[in-house]
Chain A
Amino acid sequence: MKLPISQLSQFIIRQSNKKAFLSIRCLSTQEATERRHHLFTLEKKRQLELVGRIEKIEVKYKGLPQECTLVMNKDISTPYDCAKHLGEWHMESSALALLDSSVHWDMHRPLSESCTLEFQTFNIAEPQQVNKAFWRTCSLVLGACASVAFKDNVTVKLHSFPGPDIRSGSFIYDVDLPTLPDWQPTQQELHTLSAEYVKLTRRNDLIERLEVGEALALEMFSDNEHKTKQIPDIAKANGKVTLYRVGNHVDISKGPLISSTGQIGKVTVSSVHKLLGSSESDVKQLYRFQGVALPTGAILNHFAFSILTDRAKKLVRLYKLLL
């Protein structure tokens, strides 16, 4: 299993400029996940080797405990590495990095030039961007949760998740379950989904980011016809697709995302609704998974949280329909 995949992926990476061939093979959801994870690892290693001679950049840190200048490696060091120099508290609580007081940067994205650096947590005075990143991450992890929660005989094809809308009350992932045409999740099943979600957050995986070419992205998601359709649109701008990896789950997202899944605290997968596609679209039906979550350390009474979960049970309709 391992050998042909590695040979194939190396072949693909070598030929990433040329047109990739799309082979149709029948992989189970788990095998497909493993394969994506493997390709992600290889591509990450390749990109790291491309850096070549290591150059230094100066990162001016602003904030507690004191302002300081760190000398870091260009294209290798991430804001998370800077946080390691400052202390464990910064590593655990920082969700986003703010470069030059203007650019929001993932904690695990390598820095490419000298800049000033601030860390943003969930309880700063202006946390709008952090909240958006949090909501986006919750959606992405919900996709990971949906793809591990089902048995092997249920095919799970992730479709997409919309941009973060916190006021809607729930984060969303649209999933295609072709083998389950009429599924009404019971309360027990929702509890199980929530438990799977909590398991993912307890693992405290760092959320890695990688930009890959269109061809490799297509190869990675060759088992998922929804994603393969979306990838050319996403890559239209600069031929790159931004991928994120949580544990061994790889997904497409615009970013930025928060630093680790351990920063997701209280969480509930509140409902799964069936969506029917319009007549002209080629997607017949999808399941919309919805949930609500709070960051670790956010203090909220359980009654107030139950109000939020009740509200998150209602189907969220998007103005811009994806189907």
Chain B
Amino acid sequence: MNQAQVTKLVSKLRINVAAEPRRLRSPKGPEGRLNKLRKTVTGLIKYERIELNYNRGDEARQYAERLISEAITHGDCHKPTMEIADYWLLEKELVHKLFKVLVPRYENCNTAYTRMYKAPRPQYSRNTEKAVLELRGNPYPPLVNKQHNNRHLIQNILLDAAKYDYRQAKYAEMAD
């Protein structure tokens, strides 16, 4: 009964994590798989938006989320966290970026730290799905145009005017 709850020990990620890790094929076995993912996580932290195969992107995303959440909870004075950061980030200047730039950016964030989109597949290619993986709050222009709620859009103006008309008609009915 004195056992600690596992959910309290491990930071809960805000993305869906598959029950089993994906096996990314590599001649070096599990170590080769981790090396691949380290490269991807490093690239993600460095460039903030990368395009890659869906499988590898989805797998690396989980590690990147975990790394950032560890950094946020423990800060840069915590030795095990620092070791994790040192392991996952192949370029050491990115360790500074993680603690000095990304931690302040995501401290008060209540969503996932990364975002993943399905990318168009090149024609006549092998059947590999592509994805775009990015850190939230990156400096690039947004990939999707979310303007549906912009009230100056022509469809919204028209609907707004129709609503106004309907209301006026109802008020007139009530007054009679």
Spell out A's residues near B (CB within 8 Å): 64, 122-128, 131, 134-135, 166-169, 292, 294-295, 298-300, 304, 307-308, 311
Residue pair A300, B155 in contact (C-beta under 8 Å): yes
Partner-binding segment picked from B1-9, B105-113, B159-167: B159-167
* Contact between chains at B154 and A122 (CB < 8 Å): yes
Sorting the interface of chain B by its residue count into under 10, 10 to 19, 20 to 34 or 35 or more gives 10 to 19
Bound-state Cα–Cα, A134 to B155, Å: 12
| B141 shortest CB reach to chain A, Å | 6
| Chain B contact residues, CB within 8 Å of chain A | 141, 145, 147-148, 150, 152-155, 157-162, 165
Counting from the closest, the 4 A-B pairs by CB-CB distance are A167-B161, A131-B154, A123-B147, A300-B155
Closest beta carbon of chain B to A95's beta carbon, Å: 11
Contacts A123-B147, A131-B157; A311 near B162 (Cβ below 8 A): yes
In the bound complex, do residue A167 and residue B154 qualify as a contact, i.e. CB atoms below 8 Å apart? no
User: Contacts A307-B159, A311-B162 known; A166 to B150 CB distance under 8 Å?
Assistant: no
Contact status B161-A166, CB under 8 Å: yes
Partner of A169 from B147, B148, B150, B161 at Cβ < 8 Å:
B161
User: Assuming the A-B contacts A64-B141, A295-B154, are A304 and B159 also in contact, with contact meaning beta carbons closer than 8 angstroms in the complex?
Assistant: yes
Q: List 17 A-B contacts (CB under 8 A).
A: A122-B154, A125-B147, A127-B150, A127-B152, A135-B154, A166-B158, A169-B165, A295-B154, A298-B154, A298-B155, A299-B148, A304-B155, A307-B159, A308-B159, A311-B161, A311-B162, A311-B165
* Consensus secondary structure, chain A interface: mixed
Q: Nearest Cβ distance between residue A34 and chain B, in whole angstroms?
A: 33
Are A294 and B162 in contact (CB-based, < 8 A)?
A: no
In the complex, chain B residues whose CB is within 8 Å of the CB of A308: 158-159, 162
Q: Would you give the shortest CB distance from B87 to chain A, in whole angstroms?
A: 36
Total CB contacts across the A-B interface at under 8 A: 55
Contacts of B158 in A (CB 8 A): 166-167, 169, 292, 308
How far is B152's CA from A128's CA once the two chains are assembled, in angstroms?
6
User: Which residues does chain A contribute within 8 Å of B141, judged by CB atoms?
Assistant: 64
Q: How far is the CB of B154 from chain A (nearest CB, A)?
A: 5
Q: Once bound together, how far apart are the Cα atoms of A311 and B155, in whole Å?
A: 13
B148 near A131: Cβ-Cβ < 8 Å: no
* Partner of B154 from A125, A134, A307, A311 at Cβ < 8 Å: A134
Known A123-B145, A123-B147, A125-B147; contact A168-B152, beta-carbon cutoff 8 A: no
Q: Known A64-B141, A299-B148; judge A127-B162 contact (CB<8 A).
A: no
Complex CA distance for A64 and B154, rounded to whole angstroms? 23
B145: chain A residues within 8 A (beta carbon): 123
Residues of A within 8 A of B161 (CB): 166-169, 311
CB < 8 Å neighbour of B152 from A131, A134, A169, A300 = A131
With both beta carbons as reference points, the residue of chain A lying nearest to B150 in the complex is identified as A125
